[in-house]
Structure 1
Amino acid sequence: MTISGLGPHGERAAPAERIALTETDIAAAQEARFRVAIVLHTLSSDWAKQQIAGIMATFGDCATAVIEVVDCGFAPEAQIAALDRLRGEKPDAIISIPVANSAVAEAHRRVSKAGIRLLLLDNVPTGLLPGSDYVALVSADNFGLGMIAAAFLDPRLARGAAVGVLSYHAEFYATNEREIAFNKWMMTNRPDVTLHVRKFDNIQAAGSDALALVDGHRDLGGLFVVWDTPAMEAVKALRRAGHVLPVSTVDLGREAAIELASDGLLCGIGAQQPYLQGVAVAQTCVLALLAKQTPDWVALPGLAVSRDNVVESFQKIWRKQAPREVLVSAKLVTDHAGR
């Protein structure tokens, strides 16, 4: 599958195959016994848990010790404090998802200046450059994910409809790319559609922001939300208010999968592959620690998930059985509730 977007500095994506580890690489890493810390935006999402699983599995094979996993709770100040503290632990590398751009840039730069290899997931802080300030960025093809979400919403929109775009207020490469791609796809393929953008500050506010979009634009025919957790907050708020509105989003979390399978408000999802992204960043980290050349940007393609393929997509992405509610909606098992 091709990658639609470009990296934060205009890079072409390298496929995950480029950073696959050989048996010799694994043996060398096992002998070196590297130490790595992980600093994530959150540990509460399905996406984060799967990324951690992919990282841990790969590092486990390479005898690389994860000395700490930090949950920053989307707070820049918490991430800055964690990075500064971890510098004193002197790990061989730190894997980080920057929770903002300019606010956390210097804290990330201090990691590299301390001689610690810095690997980035999904976002690059303002002013940081590959090769000098960080080793590599590993992400999904976020531009492609935004295009997938737009294509799912398209057939649900009447001519001349308005569409709400609910995006993240913080500067964030991944969500910015999704929003840009969604808007570009609509402007190219549905020039009759009017876009109305509103930004939410935190996940809990996404529901009220979705209702504000509906109240402010009575001709709203659909909604795009930049990832699934705030999308589900929007879905719940719309349902409580009695609004029936098709919604598309990115990421196939448990709640989103159930909503999609049950033919609810979600009409389609552009899904990342977080486990494989975790594997990819861990492999890139090991290669860098072995002083081997790595690409500046490694990207994995997104998956188009509809009601028709949600069961197999869930299994592919999460590497486990789909929730029973999804299987019942797909008529693959019988619902015995109440019997």
Structure 2
Amino acid sequence: MGATIKEVAKEAGVSIATVSHVINGTRYVSPELIKKVENAMHETGYTEKYRKKKEEWKTGTKTVVAVVVPEAGGTLYIRLVRDISESLLKKGYLTAVYYSNYDTELEKNILLRLCGDRNIAGIILIPCTADRKNYEKVLAREIPLVFLERKVEGEDDCVLSDNEQAVYKAVKHLIKSGHEKIAVLLGRMESSTVKERLEGYRKAMVESGLEFDTRNILTVMRNEEYGEKIKCFYRDRRPSAIVSGSNHLTLKLLRVMQEMGLCCPEDISVVGFGDEEWCELLTPPLTTIKQDVEGMAEAAVLKITDKIEKRKCSFGRMRIPAKLFIRKSTQMIGRGPFGEKAFSPDDITFTEEEKEKIREGDFKVAISFHYGGTAWKTLHENGIRETLEKFGITVVAVTDAHFDPYLQVTQLEGISMQRPDAVIAIPCDDTITAPVFKKLSKKAKLIFMSNVPTGFEAKDYITCVSVNERENGRIAASLMGEYFKGRHHVKAGFIKHGAAFYGTYLRDMVATQVICENYPNIEIVAVSNFLNIDDAYRICRDMMKTHPDIEALYICWDRPALQAIRALKELGREDVAIFTYDLDEEIGEYLVQEKMVKGMGTQRPYEQGVAVALATAKALLGNTQYKYVGVSPYTVQKNNFVRAWKEIMHEPVPKKLINFFDK
């Protein structure tokens, strides 16, 4: 195949466009740069390839195809020109590039001059406007002409990116992630591409039963002062997500968000349009719509050369599909057990008057844990106790049911006899404990963590505090998807919790959805459920024996994951990649050694304890508006393990684990 123009550009340390201009003589290039490019062509062997290609070039008149684009600086146009030039070169044509600078009069003059140029065989045009009147003269000359990237009214012979479907996919992704108030940021509304993108946004909103509100559409012109306009829009509309119509608009949006102290995706989820190299380098990496630039270029070249050489060609619009690349600039919006909007712990604030009123209340609180004896239970309890103490609230009892729902029932009956003002509880199960919780709700304010028992309605308890399990599910699934990126037909198994706990059920469901919708190269070939943690060992053994080609396992949290690891070791299958939840020392040891465990989403137990204590304090004042409080989860991989451990466990990394980083 030989060297490519891209390799020549890299060797010379110049842009691909500069190499193209040197080869084609389409623009002035300094002698110094010409020398660099010529040397690079020689070093890479492109000179010989170029010589052979020249022998195939058309000779005489009508040997050049003109490409007319609106601007020199847009990444899309630079890539289109590059790919068109390379494709035309293979067919024996040279490329001449002209820039209209979004000026319709300049564009008219360029086109008329090209029509009179004997060397021009045809024109590929990215039009400035959709108005057909601007192109009547060039259309009358019958010179071969192909419209690219934008439509012109009344002209159906063109090559377009599927703008409508692309934005439709992006908005649907946000809606499935729990977003409802979604805004769209667009450029000139006269452009056919902008109109199509707006229609994709409208269609996705209406189909999903959400309001298409024109107040959620923000237009920013290329040379317009944008800062204050975006700030005012955000303050007025408060969207949870914004889809940007181009990446120059995305950059403007991100600059303004930085000025306003807004974080992506915690405050606003962002989807860009146009996938450039810097999109993956941002923190967080940007979710983007990627146009198939190479496909658009090839289609345009095929159309124009068919017309020039008078071959039978397909007439009409060619729509080139675009892809949605989901990264980390969009987050799942947490929803409560009854679909309630999630409040952040930061939303729960107190006036000095409220604090004093709580202190004067001499309130008592009891805590009922489903199991204890772990660092997580200690962190939960510390977060609750330390926060309640600041309000002068007394903790009168802390119980541990050891995952035994009957024991928890007995413990709750004992708690009831102490007449606490509020009870904070993590139920052991959904059904056995439900009746005693129902009785308790009539005597004390009930605040649940993670799960609400069966038969409860929203009016039966005050608050449910949980990690954002939608986002947690997305994290684990995305870690698996990115780990196997570029691999074909990877087979995975899912080991889930069989009990109908709201939190675990939700994150398992979202993880399945993310894999199926976003990572078609991964096939879930086996799904099994367990009720007792120890059963995960047997389930994993059976799954691997039935499906020995499984390369990845999703396991619903760390303790069953450790049982699965025991089974994999016995089977000699330490090649399997595991993705799970909840950081602890034992599972962390596998992660830092890169043995089987490749990444995890994790709760933040101390922060959840703080959140539940704040919600409890509000409840004791009679405030019940915080029906569901969602705490953001944390992504943990080896490369951020030390920081993650300190922020989640609130202690230094154990020496045993630190030693693995020193090796």
Q: TM-score range by the shorter chain?
A: over 0.9
Distance (whole Å) between structure 2 residues aligned to residue 171 and residue 81 of structure 1: 22
Which residue in 1 is equivalent to 2:581?
250
* Structure of higher RCO (CA pairs closer than 8 Å, 6+ residues apart): 1
Partner secondary structure for residue 174 of structure 1: helix
Tell me if 1:330 matches 2:661.
Answer: yes
Which residue in 1 is equivalent to 2:527?
197
Which residue in 2 is equivalent to 1:141?
468
Distance (whole Å) between structure 2 residues aligned to residue 22 and residue 230 of structure 1: 44
Distance (whole Å) between structure 2 residues aligned to residue 3 and residue 84 of structure 1: 38
**Cα shift readout 1:97-121 (whole Å, capped 9, x = no counterpart):** 11222332222111112x2000000
194-203 or 221-230: which moved more? 194-203
Which residue in 2 is equivalent to 1:236?
566
Distance (whole Å) between structure 1 residues aligned to residue 514 and residue 624 of structure 2: 35
**Cα shift readout 1:281-322 (whole Å, capped 9, x = no counterpart):** 011101111122431100011111110001100000111001
**Post-superposition shift, 1:233?**
2.1
**Cα shift readout 1:201-259 (whole Å, capped 9, x = no counterpart):** 22222222222211121121111111112112222331233112110111111112221
Partner secondary structure for residue 63 of structure 1: coil
**Post-superposition shift, 1:31?**
2.1
Q: Are the aligned partners of 2:462 and 2:624 in contact in 1 as well (CA < 8 Å)?
A: no
Tell me if 1:104 matches 2:433.
Answer: yes
Tell me if 1:122 matches 2:450.
Answer: yes
Distance (whole Å) between structure 2 residues aligned to residue 25 and residue 253 of structure 1: 37
**Cα shift readout 1:257-295 (whole Å, capped 9, x = no counterpart):** 221111111100101111000000011101111122431
Which residue in 1 is equivalent to 2:492?
163
Q: Are the aligned partners of 1:140 and 1:273 in contact in 2 as well (CA < 8 Å)?
A: yes
Within a 5 Å distance, the mapping from 1:76-95 to structure 2 comes to 76-95=405-424
Distance 1:151-1:3 versus aligned 2 partners, 3 A rule: closer
Distance (whole Å) between structure 1 residues aligned to residue 415 and residue 427 of structure 2: 15
Q: Are the aligned partners of 1:261 and 1:310 in contact in 2 as well (CA < 8 Å)?
A: yes
Distance (whole Å) between structure 1 residues aligned to residue 333 and residue 493 of structure 2: 23
Distance (whole Å) between structure 1 residues aligned to residue 494 and residue 416 of structure 2: 39
**Post-superposition shift, 1:69?**
1.1
Within a 5 Å distance, the mapping from 1:46-65 to structure 2 comes to 46-65=375-394
Q: Are the aligned partners of 2:496 and 2:528 in contact in 1 as well (CA < 8 Å)?
A: yes
Which residue in 2 is equivalent to 1:312?
643
Partner secondary structure for residue 639 of structure 2: helix
What is the percent sequence identity of the aligned residues? 30
Which residue in 2 is equivalent to 1:259?
590
Distance (whole Å) between structure 1 residues aligned to residue 389 and residue 567 of structure 2: 42
Distance (whole Å) between structure 1 residues aligned to residue 566 and residue 354 of structure 2: 48
Partner secondary structure for residue 102 of structure 1: coil
Q: Are the aligned partners of 2:450 and 2:464 in contact in 1 as well (CA < 8 Å)?
A: yes
Which residue in 2 is equivalent to 1:8?
337
**Post-superposition shift, 1:145?**
0.8
Q: Are the aligned partners of 1:3 and 1:301 in contact in 2 as well (CA < 8 Å)?
A: no
Match of 2:364 among 23, 28, 35: 35
**Post-superposition shift, 1:39?**
0.7
Which residue in 2 is equivalent to 1:289?
620
Q: Which structure 2 segments of 5+ residues have no match?
A: 1-265, 267-330
Q: Are the aligned partners of 1:164 and 1:197 in contact in 2 as well (CA < 8 Å)?
A: yes
Distance (whole Å) between structure 2 residues aligned to residue 290 and residue 135 of structure 1: 12
Task: Give the partner amino acid of 1:255.
Answer: E
Q: Are the aligned partners of 2:463 and 2:624 in contact in 1 as well (CA < 8 Å)?
A: no
**Post-superposition shift, 1:22?**
4.0
Moved segments of 4+, more than 4 Å? none
Task: Give the partner amino acid of 1:228.
Answer: D
Tell me if 1:154 matches 2:481.
Answer: yes
Which residue in 2 is equivalent to 1:176?
505
**Cα shift readout 1:169-211 (whole Å, capped 9, x = no counterpart):** 2121111011101100011012343322111222222222222
Q: Are the aligned partners of 1:258 and 1:323 in contact in 2 as well (CA < 8 Å)?
A: no
**Post-superposition shift, 1:3?**
4.4
Distance (whole Å) between structure 2 residues aligned to residue 30 and residue 178 of structure 1: 38
Question: TM-score by structure 2 length?
Answer: 0.48
Q: Aligned pairs, how many?
A: 330
Partner secondary structure for residue 534 of structure 2: helix
Distance (whole Å) between structure 2 residues aligned to residue 21 and residue 51 of structure 1: 22
Q: Are the aligned partners of 1:118 and 1:135 in contact in 2 as well (CA < 8 Å)?
A: yes
Distance 1:22-1:166 versus aligned 2 partners, 3 A rule: farther
21-30 or 170-179: which moved more? 21-30
Q: Are the aligned partners of 1:122 and 1:139 in contact in 2 as well (CA < 8 Å)?
A: yes
Task: Give the partner amino acid of 2:551.
Answer: G
Which residue in 2 is equivalent to 1:207?
537
Match of 1:221 among 533, 537, 551: 551
Distance 1:185-1:145 versus aligned 2 partners, 3 A rule: same
Task: Give the partner amino acid of 1:325.
Answer: K
Partner secondary structure for residue 73 of structure 1: coil
Q: Which structure 1 segments of 5+ residues have no match?
A: 335-339
Q: Are the aligned partners of 2:481 and 2:522 in contact in 1 as well (CA < 8 Å)?
A: no
Q: Are the aligned partners of 2:368 and 2:423 in contact in 1 as well (CA < 8 Å)?
A: yes
Q: Are the aligned partners of 1:221 and 1:246 in contact in 2 as well (CA < 8 Å)?
A: yes
Which protein has the larger Cα radius of gyration, Structure 1 or Structure 2?
2
Partner secondary structure for residue 37 of structure 1: strand
Question: TM-score by structure 1 length?
Answer: 0.92
Distance (whole Å) between structure 1 residues aligned to residue 534 and residue 493 of structure 2: 18
Distance (whole Å) between structure 1 residues aligned to residue 619 and residue 434 of structure 2: 21
Task: Give the partner amino acid of 1:281.
Answer: V
